[in-house]
């Protein structure tokens, strides 16, 4: 039997001491190939979910969208109070930035395979307070005819996240800046994301990795790519968390 103090075996949860990282993992194995469009949808839905779970959005994305739309329609009927107007502007600004990011992510996924996406909360891109990794490096990517549907894969993905319950032990946080990093081919031709040739993934703070793979006997094709050909790109806008 392995001993708990062996150097190659890390406990599931450990204190976040200076210079250490508290690691959590959620693994999802899909029973077949997925499309690149599905990978984009997995990423977008996970980003929205994490932002809400970590109290950077006061409501789930779809509810927040309806809330802001309702406020805009209500302004026609009566003049909003100063506080309501401020909340409305903050809501609209946050949703506008998030929608712009999601739209650009969709474009990015059409240009290149995306092995990993980082969601970095607080601090900076180099020293964030929390880091969330969406790992799709070994996913099998196929076309629509030979791939699984997006909806059943999303259900499987979030079922795994809910079972793991990775957010229950985390304390509530104040609004923070949110930086998005995406990995792609250095020559993908993106005009929006900014290349960061020397970027290193942070090694401190709380870390949650959602790792997706396919339960096939085939050799993974999603990233048998040469690592030196794939670099990190940073979104040019930092999302701003807010509480209403």
Buried b (16+ CB within 10 A) or exposed e, 18-38: eeeebbbebebebeebbbbeb
Among the residues of 59-148, which ranges form H helices? Answer: 61-74, 82-111
Q: What is the DSSP letter of 236?
A: S
Q: Digits of tens for pLDDT over the chain (244 positions)?
A: 444 444 444 334 344 444 445 678 999 999 999 999 999 999 999 999 999 999 898 888 888 888 777 655 555 444 444 444 456 677 788 888 999 999 999 999 999 999 999 999 988 889 999 999 999 999 999 887 889 999 999 999 999 999 988 888 777 778 889 999 999 999 999 999 999 999 999 987 778 999 999 986 555 544 455 577 999 999 999 998 876 6
- CATH for 21-240 (3.30.900.20, 3.40.50.450, 1.10.3680.10, 3.40.50.720): 3.30.900.20
Extents of the domains making up the chain: 21-240
Three-state DSSP string of 158-192: HHHHHHHCCCCCCCCCCCCEEEEEEEEECCCCCCC
User: What pLDDT does residue 139 have?
Assistant: 93
The pLDDT, as a whole number, for residue 234 is: 97
């Amino acid at each position: 039997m392995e001993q708990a103090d062996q150097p190659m075996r890390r406990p599931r949860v450990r204190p976040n001491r200076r210079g250490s990282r508290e690691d959590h993992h959620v693994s999802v194995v899909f029973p077949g190939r997925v499309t690149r469009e599905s990978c984009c949808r997995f990423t977008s839905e996970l980003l929205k979910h994490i932002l809400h779970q970590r109290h950077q959005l006061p409501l789930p994305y779809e509810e927040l969208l309806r809330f802001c739309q309702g406020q805009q329609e209500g302004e026609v009927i009566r003049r909003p109070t100063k506080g309501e107007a401020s909340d409305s502007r903050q809501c609209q600004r946050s949703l506008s930035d998030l929608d712009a990011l999601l739209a650009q992510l969709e474009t990015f996924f059409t240009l290149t395979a995306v092995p990993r996406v980082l969601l970095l909360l607080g601090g900076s891109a180099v020293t964030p307070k929390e880091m969330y990794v969406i790992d799709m490096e070994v996913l099998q990517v196929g076309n629509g005819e030979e791939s699984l549907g997006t909806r059943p894969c999303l259900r499987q993905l979030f079922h795994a996240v809910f079972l793991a319950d990775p957010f229950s032990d985390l304390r509530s946080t104040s609004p923070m800046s949110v930086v998005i990093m995406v990995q792609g081919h250095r020559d993908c031709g993106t005009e929006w994301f900014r290349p960061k040739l020397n970027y290193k993934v942070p090694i401190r703070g709380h870390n949650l990795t959602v790792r997706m793979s396919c339960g096939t006997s085939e050799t993974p094709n999603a990233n048998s790519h040469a690592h030196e050909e794939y670099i990190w790109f940073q979104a040019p806008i930092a999302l701003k968390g807010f509480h209403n």
